[in-house]
Amino acid sequence: MLEQKCPTWQLEMLLQSQEKGLFYALDLGGTNFRVLRVQLGGKEGRVVKQECEEISIPTNLMTGNSHDLFDFIAAALAKFVASEGEDFHLPEGRQRELGFTFSFPVKQSSISSGTLIKWTKGFAINDTVGEDVVAELSRALDRQGLDMKVTALVNDTIGTLAGGRYDDNDVVVAVILGTGTNAAYVERANAIPKWHGLLPKSGDMVINMEWGNFRSSHLPLTEFDQALDAESLNPGEQIYEKLISGMYLGEIVRRILLKMTQEASLFGDDIPPKLKIPYILTTPHMSMMHHDGSSDLRTVGAQLRDILGIQNTSLKTRRLVVAVCDIVAKRGSRLAAAGIHGILKKLGRDIPSSDKQRTVIAMDGGLYEHYTIFSESLESTLQEILGEEVSSSVVIKLANDGSGIGAALLAAAHSQYL
Ligand code: ADP
Ligand code: MG
């Protein structure tokens, strides 16, 4: 998993908590992006006030050109800055500062610069690859006439780890389960063979695993996974992500239902045309059907009608659809739990410790947050693997928008005015 370029962070960089003042963050990681501002009150005050807005990215911009994408983002940010109220204070003569959460594989060259290695999660914009994304953003901010300096570039796992650690020192792992998936964890510097720099004071480093790109001959892929991958924007890449994350679960279900229709007339003799459209069935649709508690599965029926144009389904058919959702969601959640277990094992936290040390996993992402059956299955699988005793000291904490706040904190920690 660590074969890929994994930016490492010195833990000290994430651990300052004295920061004060107004900071902005921009979180770009999937279908939506968020803009956020926080007023930090220093060690005692912590986060005094925060505001956030979520904006969806028009799909044509995800596969267009770099200039248009960054212009769209900068324009939305400029509008958000214009709405800054009186509760937020920027000292006279100071420039606004921003932490940029950019959750795609990046070769980090400094705290505030890094070049894009490749797009994932449905983005494909050739002219950004190999470019410094902070420079791209800064130029777009200039074009908007927005006077703002990007002082930190992070991805969502690092942001979530920083944000999580800010209010709980026992956070050692951050996991993202949203449109895509990734994880970061705190490692002893001397356990990192690739690290040839000076050892940090604490001896601890943070590793961004880019685990979405994990693949192995031990990871069984079905014909549905193989076809999904082959027809994706990034064939051969992000295989673990394609088994687990929100962008893909609904699409896997669609492919299975299509095959069941073709081979066993699941929805009658004709194949419903909409069922052939890639990505038409999203993970939120799947989750709605999966959570249907009614005796006649009427939500399943309504979703099949509204999304796929399939009328008058029998209860038996609806049950089959739910069973498919269950298999796909449980496979994803159990694989995600296995990944977390792998990290705990690497850290030696998979066995009972004499000091009963807490291990906290900061979790962020819409899939984990909203897909209850998925998150419950993940937690019960982790318990199943770890056993009762170890499980009692392992906590998964939902760090809602942790990555955004973390980026603002890191922007503050690396302010030009310190
Ligand atoms: P990102 O990963 O883009 O930063 P989020 O963390 O907000 O975004 O996660 C968004 C993803 O979460 C969506 O792409 C979707 O797959 C998944 N998701 C959102 N709502 C639900 C839901 N109700 N049920 C299942 N999955 C959901
Ligand atoms: Mg995110």
> Look-up: residue for tokens 């549905």?
224
Place of tokens 């400094």: 110
Q: Which of 89, 198, 70, 212 is nearest to 143 (CA)?
A: 70
- Catalytic residue flag (residue 349): no
C-alpha to C-alpha distance for 243 and 150, rounded to whole angstroms: 34
Give buried/exposed letters for 260-295 (b at 16+ CB in 10 A, else e).
bbeeeebbeeeebeebeeeeebbbebbbbbbebeee
pLDDT digits (tens, 9 = 90+) for 240-262: 999 999 999 999 999 999 999 99
pLDDT tens per residue, range 30-82: 888 999 999 988 777 778 899 999 999 999 999 999 999 999 999 999 999 99
Best of 283, 299, 400 for a ligand 1 pocket test (most atoms within 8 Å of beta carbon) = 283
DSSP-derived letter for residue 9 is E
End-to-end CA distance of the chain: 36
Atom of ligand 1 nearest to the CA of 374: 25
Class of residue 233 by CB neighbours under 10 A (exposed 0-12, middle 13-18, buried 19+): middle
**Mapping DSSP to helix (H, G, I), strand (E, B) and coil, where does residue 363 land?**
strand
**Mean pLDDT computed over 202-212:** 87
Using the atom order of ligand 1, give the atom closest to the CA of residue 403.
Answer: 4
**Cα 245 from Cα 319, distance rounded (Å):** 23
- Counting ligands in written order, the one closest to the CA of 154 is 2
Closest residue by Cα to residue 206 from 241, 238, 171: 171
Q: How far is the CA of 247 from the centre of ligand 2 (A)?
A: 12
Tell me the C-alpha distance between 87 and 417, whole Å. Answer: 21
> For ligand 1, is residue 383 a contact (CB within 6 Å)?
no
Whether 4 shows a pLDDT value over 60: the answer reads: no
pLDDT digits (tens, 9 = 90+) for 305-356: 999 999 999 999 999 999 999 999 999 999 999 999 999 999 999 999 888 8
**78 touches 58 (CB < 8 A):** no
Residue 199: how many CB atoms within 10 A of its CB?
A: 13
* CA 123 / ligand 1 centre spacing (Å): 16
What span, in angstroms and rounded, lies between the C-alpha atoms of 386 and 365? 23
269 catalytically annotated: no
Q: What is the per-residue pLDDT for 129?
A: 97
Using the mean position of ligand 2's atoms as its centre, give its distance from the Cα of residue 303 in Å: 26
Q: Is 371 in the pocket of ligand 1 (CB under 6 A)?
A: yes
Return the bridge partners of 335, or none: none
pLDDT in tens, 6-28: 445 666 655 555 778 999 999 99
Q: How far does the centroid of ligand 2 lie from the alpha carbon of residue 312, in Å? A: 37
- Of 103, 232, 287, 333, which residue is the catalytic one? 103
Q: Which residue has the CA at smallest separation from atom 17 of ligand 1? A: 367
Predicted-complex ipTM score: 0.99
**Residues whose CB is less than 8 angstroms from the CB of residue 133 and which lie 6 or more positions away in sequence, other chains included:** 100, 102, 106, 114, 115, 116, 153
Q: At what angle do helices 315-346 and 372-386 cross, to 10 degrees?
A: 40
DSSP code string of 16-54: ----EEEEEEEEESSSEEEEEEEEEEHHHH-EEEEEEEE
Q: How far is Cα 250 from Cα 234, in angstroms, rounded to an integer?
A: 18
Asked if 229 is an active-site residue, the reply is: no
The arithmetic mean of pLDDT across residues 379-388, rounded, is: 98
From 27, 34, 377, 401, active-site residue: 34
Residue 404 pLDDT level (bands cut at 50, 70, 90): confident
Least confident of 193-197, 272-276, 293-297, 391-395: 193-197
pLDDT for 195 beyond 80: no
Is the per-residue pLDDT at 5 higher than 70?
A: no
Please tell me the distance from the alpha carbon of residue 403 to that of residue 162, in angstroms, as a whole number: 8
Looking at residue 10, its pLDDT comes to 61
